[in-house]
Structure 1
Amino acid sequence: MTESATTETTAKVPAIEVTDLGVDFWVEGEWVTAAKNVSYTLQGGEVLAIVGESGSGKSTSAMGLLGLLPENGRISGSVKLAGEELVGASLHRLRQLRGAGIAVIFQEPMTALNPVYTIGFQIVEALQVHNAGMLRVDAKKRALELLAMVELPDPQKAFDSYPHQLSGGQRQRAMIAQSISCDPRVLIADEPTTALDVTVQAEILELLHHLRSKLDSAIILITHDMGVVADLADRVMVMKDGEVVETGTADSLFAGATHPYTQALLAAVPHLGEAGEASASKDDREVVVTMTNVAIEYPKRGRVPAFRAADDINLTIRQGEVLGLVGESGSGKTTIGRAVVGLLPAVEGTLDIVGTNMVGINKANLRAVRRDIGIVFQDPGSSLNPRMPIGESIGEPMRLGGGFSRKDEEARVSLLLDRVQLSAHMRNRYPHELSGGQRQRVGIARALALSPKLLVADEPTSALDVSVQAKVLELFQELQKELGFACLFVTHDLAVIDILADRIAVMHRGKIVEQGTRDQVLRNPQEEYTQRLIAAVPLPDPEEQRRRRSEREALFS
């Protein structure tokens, strides 16, 4: 065979070829299937997105490629990495291939990176493990090149830093640098942007676009974010209950999905810009929240000085109105939510809640004001007492607030369960017996227990699957229209706020930089920061997202 023919044959060998992959777990004396009959082939430079909701098998099937399963797990079928069969390979061989043949970018870099070693040490270690005889000086040089490749602004500083000394986006870049250090044939990106702000997410997606062409690695992208899929994927594989229900190119699947589950999944995705025109706000409604020149500080603790997290805040929320408070992590939006419910002190200005000034308020008056305030937390799992049945959790505000007999409390719990579309017989279940969406419904019911005039919702749908999120948002809209409470809705998801909000306030570095009606802020933003936020949101449509990417590059080039 000639040299050119050999090269041509080698080029046709897929980076990875998966055939009838199955993953099972031994649970209580029997094998339980987590994934079955999963098949796909990827060439170098191709991106396959595996999408589906929690429990669909997308992460389990991907981690099974390298045997990264618990002790009670087993894998079947065939996995060929550049022609080499991995199913049945020895643990020693799999360890050689982990990082060098197939590398993983994990969802949360703070848990994936070792907190007691510097970033540089961890990358150097990976290089020396997979390159026998590589000198430390050469490994350090290569590590600095990798940190520069992932566009960290100061590679030497990042090299010498511990994970906690970097921002979320910088940690994710550092983990990507470690993942690509050994030039893997296949890169598994497991929800690589889920924990990131929208602008940082856009930067990471831009980086992955750059790396796919530079490294020629096949990328398996695991995500539930259809905007990320539209931005990065060539092909899409949809999983449900451990099985593949549909595959296709990104363009064909978004344009004409054929399976009912895929259609439902796409229909549930909030799409920035698709919400109808907001109705005009009526200024004659009762003012529930007024913030005038408010400054909020985290108090001094020991040697740690007081920290001013928000300054010169001016906001008004009226009865029946939803104010969306948006911004990136650290912008101060959650700080405002905490101050509104009296968990943080307002040290300057006027913070008026339902006619009561919260600045310098005593405990007795604060307790009275809190009867008019409900709060829905981000994580429904950790915000409910695991030892308390959900009926008791919903009734707890009534017991603490007083004025309810046991009979009245039980009747109101039944009414609230009905309002959040949960059956009354579920009142004796514990939180762990409910799904994420059901737990969040319980959280909403508890927040409404005392018929509050103000509801503070702090990222209440960010921990939910997209279809569950859609149902919770629909329920939230119905309840808000029916009960007419004022709402401060804190989120970083502009597509969600486009559905819900009457008005929007944008926060950046502790200050409100822009506010107005939903249409004014989202359709005609005046501030450059707001323009950046909106331009960074990936749209769940490949053609539209390509156009958005070009516009974004032109806007900020």
Structure 2
Amino acid sequence: MTEPLVCVRDLRIGATTDSGRKVEIIKGVSFDIAPGEIVALIGESGSGKTTIALSLMGHARPGCAIHGGTIRLGRHDVTGMTERQRAALRGTEVSYIPQSAAAAFNPSKRIMDQVVEITSIHNLMPRAKAEAKARELFRALALPDPDTIGSRYPHQVSGGQLQRLSAAMALIGDPQLVIFDEPTTALDVTTQIEVLRAFRSVMGQGNMAGVYVSHDLAVVAQIADRIIVLRGGVVQEEGTTEQILTAPAHAYTRQLLDAFEPVPHVAAPKTGAQARPILQVDNLCAGYGAIRNGEPAAKILQNVSFRLERGRNLGVIGESGSGKSTLARAIAGILPAYRGNIQLDGAELKPDLAQRSKDQLRRAQIVFQLADTALNPAQSIETILGRPLTFYHGMKGAKRAARVAQLLDMVHLPNALRHRLPSELSGGQKQRVNLARALAADPELILCDEITSALDTVVAAAILDLLKELQRELNLSYMFISHDLSTVEAICDDVLVMLKGRVVEALPAARMSAEAVHPYSRLLISSIPKLDTGWLKGLEQDPELIALFARR
């Protein structure tokens, strides 16, 4: 029998809260990983999956410490090593691919310098050999221009390319174990497929073992040999990927699987062609950079037109760079459009939000993707929610405090959280606060920009349910921007498909999968991961889809 590469026994990790109380967050976890095997750790936010994965490198987050159990990596006793000895393992025997590749790269240094840096730190090989090996990895990871992409800066490549470059950085030291920490969570479905295919190919060629941290069972199904289901720092279930997907034994695993089957959205009735829409956009053009001859240096949106009826929801889907978020920012006035017209309930909106009335600003609110960056980390939740109450409604004192309590209740958060900072909340709680801040204005239209893409499946489903509930109670309309068609179908009445700044298809959401005719729409539909271990292999064998990938 082959000796395991990784052997974890009775792992216990504790944390110290802000009040000084000690709590155990990983409670006696044990598992093995064989050489060449990929094991997925799945569970909702706070389940301990990333904490466990980081511990395999001997690393604990600030305020946390490994206080029990053992971790063996090959011949090394990771828990018994000094920090200096652990540092010698990182990048050579174990490496890490983060969720946010953008945060992993230094924006002021060229990509090649950063990819080969670990070979210099550990004296693994001469610089020329390291660069040659990096170019081999770039080819293996299906990166464009593998001989020259290393000369670029991080901002000069796409998100999907940067994620694969972070993999090259992790793999250049020939590690035995690679830790993938939700590396495709924020990617659009087509880019996600390219990244998954590249990861799987390179791992197979190098016979490397892997730990894949994710909340997305459909993604895990394409890359993992075994799955460990975690909740509250405890293993709920462990088995082969096929077994977990087809015959889950634990109720929590079944709950995770059920979250992939959202309740179909019941479309709101159309109000008729003559009714005045809450939002109408005609021939909108927007971009970035200096304006010359009436046009920006980089033109993104090109003649986008649509209407959103009151009480209905419009989904906008497309890959990264298609113009979805630019459209939301142009409608909100954050990025002034240079051509076209925007009307809110029949009244024209000026391109720049600084030129709009306070009432126009109040009626159309935007909720951003990352609550971590959208919420001021130095302000309490009460202050964050109170500011729009004062700005739009002049509320102060007891009246404002009472309304803050109502807003927290509306998004199903306890009033006791009002005195906390954003850093003291979970990802799902922060997104609810983000939504409550928009609701504080008492809007009629909310622009939701990828607000569930960074959340685990169970929490994302809860946020969608909350949005539906608020819509029923407050008669809201949503423009829901996403790269996930299944999410859009769960909440939207109509869908716009965007590619390279243009609308290429518009259909009712309920008919999207069956009636879409544009090749790119069909590609998006086909790219939604399935809870099927053979889905990605089947896609790779479909010549029509492969041709669509190449042309897009």
TM-score of the pair, normalised by structure 1 = 0.87
Q: 1:230 to 1:275 in 2, by over 3 A?
A: farther
Q: Which residue, 91, 94, 118 being the options, matches 2:86?
A: 94
Of 10, 18, 21 in structure 2, the residue corresponding to residue 20 of structure 1 is: 10
**Which letter maps to 1:482?**
E
Contact in 2 for aligned 1:535/1:552 (Cα 8 Å): no
Q: Give deviations 1:122-158, integer Å, cap 9, x for gaps.
A: 34443355565x4433333222222222222212212
Aligned to 2:25: 34
Q: Classify the secondary structure of the residue corresponding to 1:155.
A: coil
The residue type equivalent to 1:372 in the other structure is R
- C-alpha separation between the residues in 2 aligned to 1:139 and 1:444? 47
Q: Which residue of 2 aligns with 1:549?
A: 539
Q: Hey, what's the Cα distance between the residues in 2 that align with 1:403 and 1:31? A: 42
Change (3 A) 1:552 1:400: farther
d(CA) in 1 for partners of 2:353, 2:216 = 45
1:68 — aligned with what?
59
User: Aligned with 2:147: secondary structure?
Assistant: helix
C-alpha distance 443-81 of structure 1, shift in aligned 2 (>3 A): closer
Query: Residue 69 of structure 2 aligns with which residue?
Result: 77
Change (3 A) 1:401 1:202: same
Partner Cα separation in structure 1 for residue 116 and residue 415 of structure 2: 58
Residue of structure 2 in register with 1:335 after alignment: 326
What is aligned with 2:95? 103
The C-alpha deviation readout for 1:313-350, integer Å capped at 9, x for no partner, is 11100011100111222222122212222323232222
Partner of 1:209: 200
Quote how far apart the aligned CAs of 1:490 are.
Answer: 1.5
Per the alignment, residue 290 of structure 1 pairs with: 280
Distance 1:66 1:420, change over 3 A: closer
Q: Of 209, 221, 234, which aligns to 1:218? A: 209
Distance in 1 of aligned mates of 2:65 and 2:143: 38
Q: Shift of the alpha carbon at 1:457?
A: 1.6
> Per the alignment, in what secondary structure is the counterpart of residue 264 of structure 1?
helix
Q: Cα distance 1:393–1:547, how it changes in 2: closer, same or farther (>3 A)?
A: same
Equivalent in the alignment of 2:182: 191
CA drift at 1:419: 3.2
Of 543-552 and 121-130, deviating more is 543-552
**d(CA) in 2 for partners of 1:256, 1:328:** 33
CA deviation after TM superposition for structure 1 residue 62, in Å = 1.7
Amino acid at match of 1:142: K
Partner of 2:249: 258
Q: Which residue type is aligned with residue 308 of structure 2? A: I
Q: Which residue pairs with 2:146 in the alignment?
A: 155
Shift, 1:355, TM fit: 1.5
Unaligned runs of 5+ in 2: 548-552
Contact 2:15 2:23 (8 Å CA) reproduced:
yes
Displacement after TM superposition at 1:277 (Å): 6.9
Structure 1 contact 169–200 (Cα < 8 Å) conserved: yes
For 1:147 and 1:361, how far apart are their aligned partners in 2? 42
Structure 1 unaligned segments of length 5 or more: list them: 1-8
Structure 1 window deviating more from structure 2 (390-399 vs 470-479): it is 390-399
How do 1:76-475 and structure 2 match up within 5 A?
76-130=68-122, 134-269=125-260, 275=264, 278=267, 281-283=270-272, 285-298=275-288, 300=290, 306-359=297-350, 366-385=357-376, 390-391=381-382, 393-402=384-393, 413-423=404-414, 431-475=422-466
- Looking at structure 1, the residues matched to 32 and 319 of structure 2 have their Cα atoms a distance apart, in angstroms, of 38
- The Cα RMSD (Å) is 3.2
Which stretch of structure 1 is more off in the superposition, 545-554 or 108-117?
545-554
CA separation of 1:333 and 1:136: change in aligned 2, threshold 3 A: closer
* Cα displacement string for residues 401-425 of structure 1 (whole angstroms, at most 9, x for unaligned residues): 3477877656655544443334556
Alignment length (residue pairs): 542
> Bigger shift: 369-378 or 311-320?
369-378
**Partner deviation per Cα, 1:24-77 (whole Å, 9 max, x = no partner):** 346677764332322222223321000122322212222222222357633543
Measured against aligned partners, the alpha-carbon deviations of 1:256-283 in whole angstroms (never above 9, x if no partner) come to 3222322223323356xx7367466342
String of CA shifts for 1:518-557, please: whole Å, max 9, x gaps: 1333333211222222222212x12573576356565225
The alpha-carbon deviation at position 369 of structure 1 amounts to: 1.9
Task: Check conservation: 1:347, 1:359, Cα contact below 8 A.
Answer: no
> Any idea what SS the aligned residue of 2:357 has?
helix
In structure 2, distance between residues paired with 1:168 and 1:78: 37
Partner residue, 2:550: none
1:43 aligns with 2:34: yes
Please give the per-residue CA displacement for 1:477-533, whole angstroms capped at 9, x wherever unaligned.
122133322221122222211100000111122111111111333333211222222
Contact 1:22–1:61 under 8 Å retained in 2: no
Task: Write the distance in 1 (CA, Å) between the matches of 2:9 and 2:353.
Answer: 67
Q: SS of 1:505's equivalent?
A: strand
The yes-or-no answer on 1:486 pairing with 2:477 is: yes
Could you tell me the TM-score, scaled by structure 2's length?
Answer: 0.88
